[in-house]
Amino acid sequence: MNLFIRALFFVYLVLTLASCAKPKSQKDCGFVQNVYGERVSWKQDVPIHLYLHTSIPSAWEKAIRTAADTWNQAYGRELLIIEPNRVGGEAPARDGMNVIYLMSTWEAERASEQARTSLYWVGDQIQEADIRINGQNYQFYSSDVSVNTNVQAVSVESLLIHELGHVIGLRHNDAAPSVMATYLQSNHDRNVLQAADTSNLKCEY
């Protein structure tokens, strides 16, 4: 009996040590990585459902849905779903919902940001993502809204393709042609995924 108990304890010890083992790092494939070097993504918890905040102009909806469809087509099925129901609330919060906001105020020291995506993850799996669009310092245009060519405006569709890339876990990529390049020029459409984008997407999903 004593030998049996010792054997059980040994098995328990091995399993405990295995569960506490440091995760192995991975090739980044253009994704955000956690402190262990693992790619951070939604894993198999897809499609990702996103909601438009009431601050988003109705005229932008088509461009936002087209941006989501760009990633969906590369994935081969629905990866991102823009829900039809709008949500309210005054400010982005960690509330378990993925929301796209147009912000009327922005931090002065970060005025050069066109938008920002905040990711919240546990381990190597994303739990929530929120997109903030800088409505204080930038003007925007979409295919459904005429744009004054004398005004420095940002393409809604191009911006959202980039930010939705962050939603699925991709980081900036300035090493190769990519929709994840850090800067998007004003009055410039960047709506086509490049080889690096589709390759990185397929590496994780």
What does pTM read for this prediction? 0.88
- Measure the CA dihedral 109/111/112/113, to 10°: 100
pLDDT tens, 39-76?
999 999 999 999 999 999 999 999 999 999 999 999 99
Residue whose token pair is 């129901």: 85
What does the domain layout of the chain look like in residue ranges?
24-204
Strand 125-134 versus strand 115-122 pairing type: antiparallel
CA atoms of 111 and 97, how far apart (whole Å): 26
CA atoms of 56 and 199, how far apart (whole Å): 31
CATH superfamily of 24-204: Collagenase (Catalytic Domain) (3.40.390.10)
pLDDT of residue 194: 98
- For residue 102, name the pLDDT band (cuts at 50, 70, 90): very high
Question: 121 has which bridge partners?
Answer: 126
pLDDT over 50 at 10, yes or no:
no
Q: Helices 61-75 and 195-204 sit at what angle, rounded to 10 degrees?
A: 70
Residues 6+ apart with CB under 8 A from 167: 48, 50, 80, 98, 117, 119, 129, 131
Question: 101 has which bridge partners?
Answer: 132
CA atoms of 118 and 129, how far apart (whole Å): 6
pLDDT tens, 120-171?
999 999 999 999 999 999 999 997 665 556 578 999 999 999 999 999 999 9
CB atoms under 10 Å from CB of 8, counted, come to 10
- What's 78's DSSP letter? -
CA atoms of 80 and 75, how far apart (whole Å): 10
CA atoms of 200 and 202, how far apart (whole Å): 6
- Average pLDDT in the 16-28 region? 66
* Cβ proximity of 167 and 129 under 8 Å: yes
